[in-house]
Structure 1
Amino acid sequence: WAVKHLSSPIGIDEFAEKARMSRRTFDRKFRDTFGVSPKEWLTAQRLDAARQLLESTQHDVEKVADLSGFGNATNLRHHFREAIGVSPRRYREQFGRPESALRAKSA
């Protein structure tokens, strides 16, 4: 459910509600199962979605932030630099497909 709704502003309370648990119980069980907090997991999933978008589309960083659930480019840049060590723009320069290849594929 969460992966399908990454672009939505999902909160931990909503996770817990979907699992029909209290927030505290959900957080504890989630950590026991996955080894990270629900918030850390959600951020990692959003970063993965952002990476994929940066590699495979020419969307601007603001659009990538929106589609991956970060809400805005500033928030995406902060999390991206913290986790990956480079800005989203620099990441795209290093790992994204050239725009000409994207146009050829869609033709």
Structure 2
Amino acid sequence: MAEEAGVSVTGLHRHVRSATGLSPGAWLIAERVRHARGLLEETTLSIDAVARASGFGEAVNLRKHFGRAVGLSPTAYRLRFDTSTAR
């Protein structure tokens, strides 16, 4: 990423941290979780498809990072937005 941005790795870390308060790696995971949340709220894609579409590759990676960030599994999170069942 640093090379593509035309800055040093240290410069990239410094810039991302000052802009977001997070390391580049933590920022990337947060953005992937944010994208996954949107997909879980608005689509019926499988958890595997959500994992791939949000950059986690495999569902196990989505579950790990999503659970840490949100405190729920992707499936439990999706159920909060399921309007097909009466409550």
Cα shift readout 1:21-65 (whole Å, capped 9, x = no counterpart): 111221112212221111111111111110111111111100000
1:26 aligns to 2:12 (yes or no):
yes
Task: Give the match's secondary structure for 1:51.
Answer: helix
Task: Give the match's secondary structure for 1:70.
Answer: coil
Unaligned runs of 5+ in 2: none
Residues 55, 97 of structure 1: 8 Å contact kept: no
- Which portions of structure 1, spanning 4 or more consecutive aligned residues, are displaced by more than 4 angstroms? none
Unaligned runs of 5+ in 1: 1-14, 100-107
Counterparts of 1:91 and 1:24 in 2: how far apart (Å)? 36
TM-score, L = length of structure 2: 0.88
Residues 56, 96 of structure 1: 8 Å contact kept: no
Q: Could you say if the C-alpha distance between residues 78 and 18 of structure 1 is closer, same or farther in structure 2, counting changes exceeding 3 Å?
A: same
Counterparts of 2:35 and 2:66 in 1: how far apart (Å)? 11
TM-score, L = length of structure 1: 0.73
Instruction: Give 2:67's aligned residue.
Output: 81
Instruction: Give 1:57's aligned residue.
Output: 43
Q: Kindly report the root-mean-square deviation, in angstroms, between the aligned alpha carbons of the 2 structures.
A: 1.5
Q: Which amino acid aligns with 2:24?
A: P
Counterparts of 1:66 and 1:43 in 2: how far apart (Å)? 13
Give the aligned length.
Answer: 85
Indicate the structure whose relative CO is greater, using CA pairs within 8 Å and at least 6 residues apart.
Answer: 1
**Which of residues 77, 81, 94 is equivalent to 2:80?**
94
Seq. identity, %: 45
Q: Which amino acid aligns with 1:83?
A: A
